Amino acid sequence: MSSAAADRFHDLVELVRTLRSPEGCPWDRAQTFESLRSFVLEETYEVLEAIDRRDLASLREELGDFIFEAVLLAQLASETGAFTVADSLAAITDKLIRRHPHVFGTKTGTTADTGPKSAEEVVQRWEALKARERSSAGARTSAMGDVPRALPALLRAHTIGQRAAAVNFDWDTAADVLDKVREELDELQHQIARGGPPDRVEDELGDVLFSIAHLARKLGVEPESALRRANEKFLSRFAEMERRITSSGRTLREMTLAELEDEWQRVKRDQHEDRRHKDTKREGR
């Protein structure tokens, strides 16, 4: 399996080199680091969508597209003499070995210990190792120094919380964070009630969202994924509500809010019942 993967990867690297050659494809030759940025982002979200759908056939294809973008970027870099895809592979392999001393102790010049007992402990060790590496390299030693600005805001808030937790700046329990969420909601409600200026309302709403991202982290939930699921759930229920209303000869616009809410609640009850039925069948197998 490993040999087959290496052969296929080699084939892809050679194919991309051909596409970028004078005898290759005009489109591929025209690409730059900047022009590929949107494609990398698009392929990333398509991978996430396949994961959300648990569609492994699509995931296989989308991962191929994602890897192609990485190889193409590395090919552009190699043409400038900066680095090759082999350098990138060596860098990530070395990094993973360095940051897993509890697994590869003998390869890192240390003795493999019993290791962290939980995924949360692994994250804390990972961040501590990163900080030591930055310090050794003479880079900024701030725990927040390299949190990517390009991350979606909710995911960035989650990452910031992880970095803070790695240096023990964190709440003890999820219940503590929930209290913080309530506190921020009270402050938002106060600004709304007093007719506060838009920038103050925005600040307080941002604090609510930031604290919710921390709550998600303490609960072991990735907030971006949770919000995507909530979006899909809403869209599914809305589509079913719309289907039922239009099939009865009515339109959404001509219905009152109370009528729409009644139909929405019926859709929710029916979907909950369908889920319970499926869970019961699954448990009975």
Residues 69 and 7 in one domain: yes
Residues 155 and 129 in one domain: yes
Which residue in 216, 228, 246 sits closest to 49, CA to CA? 228
Residues 212 and 270 in one domain: no
Residues 6 and 94 in one domain: yes
pTM for this prediction: 0.63
pLDDT on residue 273? 86
Residues 16 and 93 in one domain: yes
- Give CA–CA dist 271/235, Å, rounded: 13
Residues 60 and 141 in one domain: no
CATH number at residue 28: 1.10.287.1080
- pLDDT tens for each residue of the chain, 285 residues long: 578 999 999 999 999 999 999 999 999 999 999 999 989 989 998 998 899 889 999 999 999 999 999 999 999 999 999 999 999 999 999 989 988 888 887 655 555 556 676 777 777 777 677 666 666 666 556 777 677 887 888 888 988 888 888 778 889 999 999 999 999 999 999 999 999 999 999 999 999 999 999 999 999 898 988 898 899 999 999 999 999 999 999 999 999 999 999 999 999 999 888 888 777 766 665
Which residue in 129, 184, 121, 118 sits closest to 157, CA to CA? 184
Could you say which of 167, 190, 209 is where a domain stops?
167
Q: What is the largest CA-CA distance in the chain?
A: 74
Residues 55 and 115 in one domain: no
- Give CA–CA dist 159/221, Å, rounded: 12
Could you say which of 68, 98, 128 is where a domain stops?
98
Residues 6 and 84 in one domain: yes
Residues 22 and 62 in one domain: yes
Residues 13 and 94 in one domain: yes
Residues 187 and 273 in one domain: no
Q: Which of 38-41's residues contact partners 24+ apart within 8 Å by CB, and which partners? A: 39/69, 40/69, 40/73
Domain enclosing residue 214, as ranges: 171-221
Report how many domains make up the chain. 4
Residues 155 and 186 in one domain: no
DSSP characters for 188-215? HHHHHHTT--HHHHHHHHHHHHHHHHHH
Could you say which of 38, 63, 98 is where a domain stops?
98
Q: Which structure tokens are listed for 19?
A: 């596409």
Residue burial 224-263, b: 16+ Cβ < 10 Å; e: rest? beebbeeeeeeeebeebbeeebeeeeeeeeeeeeeeeeeb
